Amino acid sequence: MFLKNKTLTADLMIILSALLWGVEYVVVKDLVEHLPPNWINTFRFIAASIIMLPLFWRRIRQTSRQEIKAGLILGVFMFGGFTLQTIGIQFTTAGKSGFLTSTYVVMVPFIVWIVKQKFPGFLSLLSAGILIVGVSLLSFEVGGNGFNKGDLLTLGAALCFSGSIIGFDYYSKLYEPINLTFVEMFFGGFLSLIVALIAEPFPVEFTYGPFEIFQLLFLVLLGSLACHLLSNIAMKWAEASHASILWSLESVFALIFGIIFLNEVLNIRMIFGFMFILAAVVLTERGDDIFRKLKSAVVKQ
């Protein structure tokens, strides 16, 4: 049933990837205290791309030059986004990182407007504005003493993620998403390896305990492989502005898992934040129907 409704299927895939990325905030925040940021990204992306080879070999071996070129461009955006975010989270709180990363929701419609000369629509802009209010209510409650270099790096990550979303919105409708994902992750991991070798010490003292191994496996199998496949396949059927709103739910999931695993407190301000974000998602999903019914009700009166 879901596969027959491609829009619904795409939305569910994006929401699932947002949930997994929400968990990732908690995992990365802890793991970055034990491993340098670029070594984390090197391992997660190269390992994920290697796992893809036996799973999708028939498709990957048919990767065209155009798909390689597109994947390299996407890999640069992915590398920039995850590198800046992983480094930035060392200097800011997880809550502020979640909020600042989610600003790509606002960036995407305007970048699309500039690049494609395509106005995203009043509904997309209104949803993005409501969502930013909601996420800010959640995130800035978590803490942080003003704007710091970690926040600035995270804003740079949000800009890179905006480019990645817009890039996949374009390329996934032309090429095979699985091939794009493989090239993107392998090249992103390769760039991370170069930076790690130049700028970071080799993690020889890292303790490979069961919990740390579990965290790395989560980042490889779910945070990288599953999330990117779900997201990139979904972009065949979703619009960039619409998808970015749903992806921003990762900040809500990050807070939920923060409460569960980090003992963060849920207060009235956070509840209002949830309400704003839910309103933005509902407006994105059913906004046209809501306004149509309201207009019809006004005309009848």
Model confidence pLDDT, tens digit, residues 156-215: 998 999 999 889 888 988 999 899 999 999 999 999 999 999 998 887 766 667 788 888
Share of the chain above pLDDT 90, in %: 30
pLDDT tens across 73-131, in order? 999 999 999 999 989 888 877 667 777 787 787 788 778 888 877 777 788 788 888 87
Q: What is the pLDDT of residue 1?
A: 44
| Number of compact structural domains in the chain | 1
Decide if 124 is inside a domain.
yes
Q: Is residue 68 part of a domain?
A: yes
Residue with tokens 């599953």: 226
* Measured distance CA(127)–CA(197) in Å, rounded: 42
Q: Is 0.85 topped by the overall pTM?
A: no
Examine residue 271 and state whether it is found in any structural domain, yes or no: yes
Residue 295's pLDDT is 64
1 in any annotated domain: no
Q: Amino acid letter at 124?
A: S
- Domain-embedded: residue 122: yes
Indicate if the pLDDT at residue 145 is higher than 60: no
Question: Residues 207-224: pLDDT tens digits?
Answer: 667 788 888 899 999 988
Q: By mean pLDDT, which of 14-18, 226-230, 244-248 is the weakest?
A: 244-248
184 within domain boundaries: yes
Domain of 108 in residue numbering reads as 6-300
In a domain, 146, yes or no: yes
Q: Are 180 and 36 in contact (CB under 8 A)?
A: no
The confidence score (pLDDT) of residue 64 equals 95
Q: What is the mean pLDDT of the chain?
A: 82
SS (H, E, C) the chain: CCCCCHHHHHHHHHHHHHHHHHHHHHHHHHHCCCCCHHHHHHHHHHHHHHHHHHHCHHHHCCCCHHHHHHHHHHHHHHHHHHHHHHHHCCCCCHHHHHHHHCCHHHHHHHHHHHHHCCCCCHHHHHHHHHHHHHHHHHHCCCCCCCCCHHHHHHHHHHHHHHHHHHHHHHHCCCCCHHHHHHHHHHHHHHHHHHHHHHHCCCCCCCCCCHHHHHHHHHHHHHHHHHHHHHHHHHCCCCCHHHHHHHHCCHHHHHHHHHHHHHCCCCCHHHHHHHHHHHHHHHHHHHHHHHHHHHHHHHHHC
Tokens 């995407």 belong to residue: 108
